[in-house]
Structure 1
Amino acid sequence: MTEESSRVQSGQAPANPAAGEGGQAFTREQVEALFINAAREGDADLLARFLDAGMSPNLQVEKGYTPLILASYNGHKDAVRVLLSRGADANLQDEKGATALAGIAFKGDAVLARMLLDAGAEVDIPNAVGRTPLMFAVMFGRDDVARILLQAGANVLLRDGEGLNALDLAQRQGNATLLQDLKKAVGVSA
């Protein structure tokens, strides 16, 4: 038995991290796919190992997705922590202009919203059709996240490609409580 095969059988990683069983090297695309999958699945330990081996925390793959966008969208807090601590840019956008914060606003994870904002996520980056994270939070009834975004200085009056702002969207959704909060944020009386 070779040293390499004894390591594989005992569960240890091969000596060459880019080599699979039998010493076959992975292609760059395969390594990137494994890294992105670790982010999507929330495997914080494996992400850290990839980052230690030189993977960029800001790698952009199909559709412009980054490890941070995928980890945060799927609610993986530990993976998000690892990526942010290793220099992931919270403001990178996918090919439709969405940031990790926009995905969180859609999903409604208040803890991740705070983590991204604390890491420097800009609160008002619009996507390709002009929708901001606040607009997504309002549209999908994510009131807690909308309030966090308001506290972070989100601009209630920005308009999307249809000419609508967060006030319009809250009114359209029939969300009277959030509409009042939005009006307070811009100094409009009820």
Structure 2
Amino acid sequence: MTENSQQPQDGAAPQLTDEEMAYVLSLFEMARTGDTENLLPAVRAGVPADLTNGKGDTLLILAAYHQHEETVAALLEAGADPDRVNDNGQTALMSAVFRGNETIVRTLLGAGASQTAGAHSALDFARVFERTELVPVLQEHADR
């Protein structure tokens, strides 16, 4: 630990230094901007593939929402859980459906993403947000 880090008390998580916190925040920014080139080595070096921010968003959810196909695929390959649910009951699949990105929807479904994880089914989400072009894709994978 660095000199600014505090030892955990009674099982509490250690406090991060400003530098450590900046690094963690940069990882979420990499997911948002699709900076796979820098994000993937960090995950391979030990950053949890399912790292979550204060809203429960995972790196995968952010990459899917911001439509970064390569980053989504790389995170899935690195072991990210496609069914993690954020604090709003949303998953990476729901993010991809909301944004209307068929490639990411197919990538997530191919990785085993559940259409019923989260607060709503992906199919209901597609209908509510009028992503009718995705309904056949979701129905095609419904029985898998």
Give TM-score scaled by structure 2 length: 0.82
1:58 aligns with 2:50: yes
- Secondary structure in structure 2 of the residue aligned to 1:64: coil
Q: CA deviation at 1:26?
A: 5.9
Q: Which blocks of at least 5 consecutive residues in structure 1 are unaligned?
A: 1-24, 155-190
Quick one: distance in 2 between partners of 1:120 and 1:31? 30
Alpha-carbon distance between aligned partners in 2 of 1:95 and 1:126, rounded to the nearest angstrom? 10
Is 1:132–2:121 an aligned residue pair?
A: yes
Aligned amino acid, residue 52 of structure 1: R
When the two chains are superposed, the root-mean-square deviation of aligned CA atoms in Å is 1.5
The code of the aligned residue for 1:146 comes to V
One-letter code of the match for 1:141?
E
Q: What TM-score comes out, normalization by structure 1 length?
A: 0.63
Please tell me whether residue 121 in structure 1 is matched to residue 113 in structure 2: yes
Q: Distance in 2 between matches of 1:26 and 1:44?
A: 24
Determine the C-alpha separation between the residues in 2 that align with 1:105 and 1:42: 18
Tell me what 1:153 maps to. Answer: 142
Specify the code of the residue in structure 1 equivalent to 2:140: Q
Query: In 2, Cα distance between the equivalents of 1:123 and 1:86?
Result: 21
**1:48 maps to 2:37:** no
Q: Is the radius of gyration larger for structure 1 or structure 2?
A: 1
Residue 149 of structure 1 aligns to a residue in which SS? helix
Q: Return the match for 2:95 from 84, 99, 103.
A: 103
Deviation at 1:86, TM superposition (A): 0.4
**Runs of 4+ deviating beyond 4 Å:** none
Paired with 1:36 and 1:126, the residues of 2 have a C-alpha distance of 21
Structural mapping, 1:24-103, within 5 Å: 27-103=19-95
